[in-house]
Amino acid sequence: MARMAARAFLPRTLLTAGREVAAFARQAWLLRHDLAEPVTPERACNGEDVVVFLHGLFASAGVLRPMRGAIARHPGLHAAAMSYPPGPGVEELAGRLAGLVAALPEGVRLHLVGHSLGGVVARFFAQEAGEPRVVQTISMASPFAGVLGARVLGFGAARDLEPHSPLLRRVLLGVDRSSHIPHLSIVAAADAFIRSPIAHALPGGEVMVMEGRGHNTLLFDEEVARIVAQRVLARRAALCKAARP
């Protein structure tokens, strides 16, 4: 019985590893895109929804092109993104995000979606910026419990991702007062970058575990893209219903 289980486990492990390798290759191919200027929607109108995507360390807005495309296929949904280097800390990146959202129409609803570091930036901004247009945050493989040894990289974002860093403590302490902004943590069960991936979900938020997926696989996973779109549509419907007299 144990030998049969081991034989079944090995193909699943190889499949998961193969998906992650393919995701790294696809990410490398997309890195060169959308580096210079923020990506903003051309026709977003008041009352519509803009999903702002934030990438992780050593990436660019280009790696989020497939997911942005999946969002933009839905009427009334628009996508935005920006690229940033790996050096700046989370608070500085939140300041850059403020500049991006300031360029969007006043009457849109903002859904912040971040991968890895981007998810931490998204939640920090939602809790600290006082931007009333933010209606939810979604993180994908974001280490809210920190990444052991991240500080050795030496730059601001890495120091912020060290376990128990002042920045992460600030995010965790702000969860209660920002509970009106719902959060979904999408967790990669086979995430090789962090131990016990589910422990890195944002406390108090909803958690969805994606089996057989690694850290970067989430970027290009069709099911994850559907989940993000469904959450945006559901939040839009709930807010529109609540606004009716």
Determine the Cα–Cα distance for residues 25 and 227; give it in Å rounded to an integer.
23
The CATH number linked to 174 is 3.40.50.1820
DSSP state of 107: T
Question: Has residue 14 got a pLDDT over 70?
Answer: yes
Do residues 54 and 125 touch, judged by C-beta distance below 8 A?
no
Buried (b) or exposed (e) across 177-199, using 16+ Cβ within 10 A? ebeebbbbbbbbebbebbeebee
Report pLDDT digits (tens) over 76-128. 999 999 999 999 999 999 999 999 999 999 999 999 999 999 999 999 999 99
Residue with more model confidence, 239 or 8: 239
Is residue 161 a contact partner of residue 146, using CB atoms and an 8 Å limit? yes
What does the pLDDT average to over 211-217?
A: 95
Q: Is the pLDDT of residue 164 over 80?
A: yes
Domain count, the chain: 1
Task: Give the pLDDT confidence of 228-240 residue by residue, as tens digits.
Answer: 999 999 999 999 9
Residue 147: pLDDT band with limits 50, 70, 90: very high
Residue type, 112: L
Global confidence as pTM:
0.93
Q: Given a cut of 90, is residue 193 above it in pLDDT?
A: no
- The per-residue pLDDT of the chain, averaged, comes to 92
> Is 228 within 8 Å of 219 (Cβ atoms)?
no
pLDDT value of residue 244: 84
**Confidence band (pLDDT; 50, 70, 90) for 5?**
very low
Task: Give 24's pLDDT tier (boundaries 50, 70, 90).
Answer: very high
Confidence class of residue 11 from pLDDT cuts 50, 70 and 90?
Answer: low
Which residue range is the domain that position 43 belongs to?
2-243
Using the predicted structure, report yes or no on whether residue 138 has a pLDDT greater than 50: yes
Given this model, what pLDDT does residue 69 score?
A: 96
What distance lies between CA 28 and its chain's CA centroid? 18
